Structure formats: structure tokens, C-alpha cells
Amino acid sequence: MRNAVLGAAMIAAAVGGAAPSYGQSMFTTADSGRLFATGGVSNVEGAGGGGISTWAMITGYGTKDSIGGNVHGTFIPLANFQDFGTGVAVGLFDRVELSYNHNVFNTGPTGSKLGLGSNYALNQDVYGVKVRLFGDILYDQDTYLPEVSVGAEYKNSDNRALLHALGAKSGTGVDYYVAASKLFLRESVLVNATLRETKANQIGILGFGGPKNNGYQTEFEGSLAYLVTDKFVVGAEYRTMPSNLGFTKADDWKSIYAAYVFNKNLSLTVAYVDLGTIATLKNQNGAYASVQVGF
Amino acid sequence: MMINIVRRIAIMALTAAALHSPLSMADTMEQSAFAAMGGKDGLQKIASLGMDNVLNDDRIKDKFTGANIPRLKLLLGTQFCALLDGGCVYGGKDMEAAHKGMNLNDADFNALAEDFRNAMIDLGVPNRHQNVLLAKLAPMEKPITAH
């Protein structure tokens, strides 16, 4: 609850900073100087990326001389569950990204079948930090060198008693990742590859570790996107998942998405996601809709 | 034996020449973009309209106070043509020297790029061709923002 309040306060602060004209913004160095569609959108953990994958780019439209930031709301109605994510992220001088995301994973009518009660919800907070090591997604068009960042995400899920009953070893966990992104602007193609060290079950919503495995495993996130216009991007993503729990398996996540950047303050991402089996329920396919407001 | 070797070398040489000849090969992305933008005249229009956008852009118009705009437009058009292998030779200063003292930062550079992209959009250049030219301009961020 405290986390949710903190998150709401951060969102309010960010909106307050974004709403006035740039010159009067609380972030006096905000200039929205970066080009359209070079920052990605907010992913399911609140980091700059696609829908389900994490990218190397620092979120927002800030340059190396300025600050960018955004808030987002994401709705993912699946066959048996629905996830509602809200979060805030700031990009500092195109070097550091700080993010917070709150996921409410609602079991809907399925909750009763699982013995949890109808509309039983699992809550998760994700605090993320990402640091760009080298490379520039846009300017480095005369080299094959990608933009590379490293990041960590501290994830905290409530409903500890339930998570332990499901076999998870912990309700908190830290993911570490290294992400490489390359824009082949001449070809209008964006490629991303991320390696993540994680114990998270379904990104942590079902806790961390389990009877099958309680150590870190290396997972892969990949995405491929095509820049249809300067404002419209279509792509596909793939993300592997550890399968630590005993009572259910976990499948790799897949998505195909389209993102439309109305302007530097508003973007909309829609996707079709296939998250496989979640908590014994197969074929968790569904939609994904995310609105991002920022600068 | 000798004739065989000579024949082989001749075939290899012809193949190499064919691979490098613009006539015998599919157009490069630069050549396609050059054609799609209307050749030299089209690029001159893009340079001219892009520069007009810059001069109407509150973010950066002040950086061009006192500049010889007609000359700048001509130079830019020639530079774009050279970048797209259109048979032009850019005779202006190198990018670092040309922007020295303007104190341009990344936001300024991106604003310039946006203004020229908007010119291409307004002139109906398809996105994939726009990006070929933008990919040539993007690495100029370093020299242009050096001072």
C-alpha cells in the first residue's frame, strides 16, 4: 500500500512536471530534444522497451544534456487473467533511467476455480534502474556498434502466503540484465537483444524461485521492429521464461505489436500477446494496450 | 592450361566489374532514395524547404542569424546529392568547421534533422527513403555538436 502511494506521488510529480510548457517545467533542462520513436515505450516491468522486452535506450525524449520522463498505463486482458500496470520513468541525461511500475494481476472469475476467490489480485512493484554504457541508438549509423545498457530491477510481490503456498521461495527478487539495441536507420529496422539473470516466475508476479529451481537463470529477450513512418512502428518480441514452480510450467512470451507516436507527449502501443501457460491455465493469449504520456 | 587460366581470370575480372557497375546491378538504397527524392532538383527542393523550416523553428532559428541562406541551401542540396551517390561533389567546409562557434547541442542537431525530415514528409518522400538520407546525416552529430 505504501508503495502504491509512493508510486502515485511519483506519477503526480512527473505529470506536474510534464504538463506546463517546457520552459516552465519543474525540470528546467527538459527539452524533448530526442527524435520521435527513439526511446521505446514502457514495457510490462516499467522499463524503456517494447511491450514485453527491455531495450537499451534510456526512456523519454531527453538528450545527453537534458531530462525526459513519462507515465504509462497498460492493460493486458488475457484468456483467464488480466493485468493492469501503471508506472513512471525518468531518463537522466540519456545515461540513467529510473522506473517504477505497479502491476495488478487480477484472476477475475478464474480466481474461484483456483480456490482464491473471484477477482483475487496479485500485486507487484518493480523498481528499475538502467545505465547506458556506450553507443547511441540514432547517431551511430556509421558503425555496427549497438547501444548497450545494463540494468537491475528490484521486484516485490505481495500475497506472500499465497506465493509460498504455490511453491515460490521468495516474494522479492532482483533481476539483472544487459541490453543491446541497434537501429539500422538506412534499413528502417530496429533490433534488440537482452540477456537477463532472473529467478522470477512470470516476471515475479508468481514470486521467485521454486521447487524445480531456486537459482538465477539466464533468459533471453529479443525484438525486431520496422519503422513504417517516423511515428509508426510495428514489431515482434520473444522472451524466454524460467520454469521454477512445481505445480505449473511457464512458457516463453511472444508478442506482435504496433506503436503509434502521436507526438512527443503521447504514444499508444497495441499488441497481441501469447504468454503461454500461467498457473496451469494454458493459452494465455490476449490483447495489450498501453498509453504513455511524457516528454 | 594457360588459356584456361587466362579465361578464368578474365571471367573473374568481368564478374568483379559487373558487381561494381551500377548498370548491371540492382540499385543501391542510396540510388533508390536519390531517384525517389527527384534527383538533384528534388534534393535541392528538400534542402530549400528544410532550411525554411529551420528558419521558422523557434528552437534553432537564432543560430542562423546572419547566415547566407541561399548559399547554404545550395550547399546542402549538393551535400545531400553527394551523400546519396547522386554524382555531386560537396565543396563546402567539413561539418565541424562549418558549425564551429554555433554552439549546437544534441537537441539543436535533432531539431535540424526533424526540420529536414518534415521537408521530406511534406514533399511526399516515402519513409524508407527518408531514412536512407537521415542515416547518412545521423553520424554528423559528433562534428556538428563539437563546438
The CATH code of the domain that includes A121 is: 2.40.160.40
* A157 falls within a domain: yes
Residues B60 and B143: their CA atoms lie apart, in Å, by 17
Which one, of A260, A258, A253, lies nearest residue A83 by Cα?
A253
| Residues B144 and B104 sit within 8 Å (Cβ to Cβ) | yes
Between positions 29 and 48 of A, the ones with CB within 8 A of B are: 31, 33-35
Q: Please report, to the nearest 10 degrees, the dihedral formed by the alpha carbons of residues B117, B119, B123, B126 taken in order.
A: 0
Q: Tell me which residue range forms the domain holding A31.
A: 2-289
> Does A65 reach chain B within 8 Å, measured CB to CB?
yes
Average pLDDT on B50-67 reads: 94
Residues B82 and B119: their CA atoms lie apart, in Å, by 18
Residues A174 and A86: their CA atoms lie apart, in Å, by 20
| CA–CA distances in Å: residue A60 to residues A49, A107, A231, B74, B142 | 11, 32, 15, 35, 21
Q: How confident is the model at residue A33, as a pLDDT?
A: 67
Task: Give the total number of structural domains in chain A.
Answer: 1
* B104 falls within a domain: yes
* B5 falls within a domain: no
Residue A153 in 3-state DSSP? strand
* Cα angle for residues A71, A77, A82 (degrees, 5° grid): 85
Please judge whether B136 and A136 are an interchain contact, meaning their C-beta atoms are less than 8 angstroms apart: no
* A76 falls within a domain: yes
* B10 falls within a domain: no
Residues in Cβ contact with A190 at an 8 Å cutoff, skipping those fewer than 6 apart? A181, A182, A183, A184, A223, A224, A225, A226, A227, A233, A235
Residue A129 in 3-state DSSP? strand
Q: Which carries the bigger pLDDT value, residue B22 or residue A110?
A: A110
* B62 falls within a domain: yes
Beta partners for residue A174, in sequence order = A154
Residues in Cβ contact with B85 at an 8 Å cutoff, skipping those fewer than 6 apart? B28, B30, B31, B34
Please judge whether A188 and B131 are an interchain contact, meaning their C-beta atoms are less than 8 angstroms apart: yes
Q: How confident is the model at residue A27, as a pLDDT?
A: 40
Rounded to a whole number of angstroms, the distance between the first and last alpha carbons of chain A is 28
* B46 falls within a domain: yes
Rounded to a whole number of angstroms, the distance between the first and last alpha carbons of chain B is 64
| Residues A293 and A262 sit within 8 Å (Cβ to Cβ) | no
Minimum distance, in Å, between the CA of residue B131 and any CA atom of chain A: 5
In A, which residues are within 8 Å of B135 by CB distance? 141, 185-186
* A294 falls within a domain: no
**Pick from B110, B127, B131: CB nearest A186:** B131
Task: Give the total number of structural domains in chain B.
Answer: 1
DSSP assignments along A193-246, one per residue: EEEEEE-BSGGGTT-B--SS--S-EEEEEEEEEEESSSSEEEEEEEE------S
Minimum distance, in Å, between the CA of residue A147 and any CA atom of chain B: 14
Pairing of strands A217-227, A189-198: antiparallel
| Residues A49 and A257 sit within 8 Å (Cβ to Cβ) | no
Which one, of A239, A230, A126, A133, lies nearest residue A180 by Cα?
A133
Size of interface A-B (CB pairs under 8 A): 58
Unique residue bearing C-alpha cell 553507443: A135
**Number of Cβ atoms within 10 Å of the Cβ of A179:** 27
Q: How confident is the model at residue B87, as a pLDDT?
A: 94
**Span B66-75, pLDDT tens digits:** 999 999 999 9
* A275 falls within a domain: yes
* A64 falls within a domain: yes
| Residues A91 and A18 sit within 8 Å (Cβ to Cβ) | no
Q: How confident is the model at residue A252, as a pLDDT?
A: 96
* A281 falls within a domain: yes
* A295 falls within a domain: no
Q: Which residues of B touch A (CB under 8 A)?
A: 29, 105-108, 110-111, 113-114, 117, 121, 127-128, 130-132, 134-136, 138-139, 141-142
Crossing angle of helices B39-55 and B29-36, in 10° steps, is 70
Res. B16: pLDDT tops 70: no
**Span A82-105, pLDDT tens digits:** 999 999 999 999 999 999 999 999
B144, amino acid identity: I
Residues A235 and B3: their CA atoms lie apart, in Å, by 55
* B47 falls within a domain: yes
Consecutive sets of 10 residues in chain A, 295 residues long: mean pLDDT of each? 42 37 43 70 94 95 91 94 96 96 93 86 97 96 96 95 93 98 95 98 96 96 94 95 94 96 91 94 94 92
In A, minimum Cα distance to B136 occurs at A141
> Does A2 reach chain B within 8 Å, measured CB to CB?
no
| CA–CA distances in Å: residue A148 to residues A44, A45, A96, A132, B25 | 20, 19, 12, 6, 36
* A239 falls within a domain: yes
What percent of chain B has a predicted confidence (pLDDT) above 90? 73
Please judge whether B127 and A227 are an interchain contact, meaning their C-beta atoms are less than 8 angstroms apart: yes
Residue B18's pLDDT band, with cuts at 50, 70 and 90, is: low
* B123 falls within a domain: yes
CATH number for position B95 = 1.10.490.10
* B18 falls within a domain: no
Residues A290 and A288: their CA atoms lie apart, in Å, by 7
Q: Tell me which residue range forms the domain holding B122.
A: 27-144
Output the CA torsion sign for A265, A268, A274, A275. Answer: positive
Average pLDDT on B39-62 reads: 96
Mean pLDDT over the full length of chain B? 88
Output DSSP code: residue A146. Answer: P
Res. B114: pLDDT tops 80: yes
